Amino acid sequence: MGLFRAVPTLNAEIAAWKQGYRLVAGVDEVGCGPLAGPVVAGAVILDPDHPRAWWSDLRDSKVLDEPERDRLAALIRDDAIWGIGSASHEYIDEYGLTAARKLAMRRAVRALNAKPQMLLIDAMSLPDYRHRSIIHGDALSASIAAGAIVAKVARDAQMTRAHKRHPRYGFDSNRGYATPEHKRALHEFGPCVLHRRLFAPVRAALTARGETVTVRGLLVEPEPQLDHVVLEEAIA
């Protein structure tokens, strides 16, 4: 299964605006697949009364190269209402990936400097908010795409900083994803404090060193699956 490629539109936003919801936030998270680091979410409100030319450049963050993501993230931060939230690797291990995704999204929404009247969310439900869940939302909705872009840029910056503390794993290039080089370093050096014990390759590396690993998050949800779709975000 490959990436779902489409040009995001304002169709979902316009439908909400016509219902009287002027503050519509697009919400998405990044970093579900990595072996290390947090899940980070972004929330973005596009102002229907002040459209911007760059809205037409928004795309799924996974199909943009890094310079274009950085350019769009700067425009979003300058011209839109935006918020960032995260859930740590410890939270992922304790409560599972689904709970971590929802926590990051809620924190991103709370970080907005205006209270949204409605959320457009990429393939997730937050029952405590009025919302619409959209499959492939980051490829279909402009505001969701914007949320994913600011989240991706913020998380990449966090992992680049983490590389300075843990240079063996290549976090500045793989962002914590399970690249062959990262897995080799994990096998050679063992996990660092940022690695997610919920994920099988990390537990295997600990077990190989004689450590007993108990992760409460595995009682909450099944083992995360690391497939080629996950790895596409690492190289996007």
Give one DSSP letter per residue of 54-92, joined into a string: GGGG---GGGS-HHHHHHHHHHHHHHSEEEEEEE-HHHH
User: What domain range is 24 assigned to?
Assistant: 1-236
154: burial class by Cβ within 10 Å (0-12, 13-18, 19+)?
buried
Amino acid at 13: E
Is pTM beyond 0.75? Reply is: yes
Provide, rounded to the nearest whole percent, the portion of the chain with pLDDT above 70: 91
What is the 8-class DSSP label of residue 26? E
State pLDDT tens for residues 139-171.
999 999 999 999 999 999 999 999 999 999 999
* Strand order across the 131-134 sheet: 81-87, 39-45, 24-30, 118-122, 131-134
Q: Give the count of domains, the chain.
A: 1
Q: What angle do CA 111, 137, 158 make, to 5 degrees?
A: 45
CATH number of the domain within which 6 lies: 3.30.420.10
- CA-based max dimension of the chain: 60
Q: How far apart are CA 100 and CA 96, in angstroms?
A: 6
State pLDDT tens for residues 117-147.
999 999 999 999 999 999 999 999 999 999 9
Q: How far apart are CA 149 and CA 126, in angstroms?
A: 20
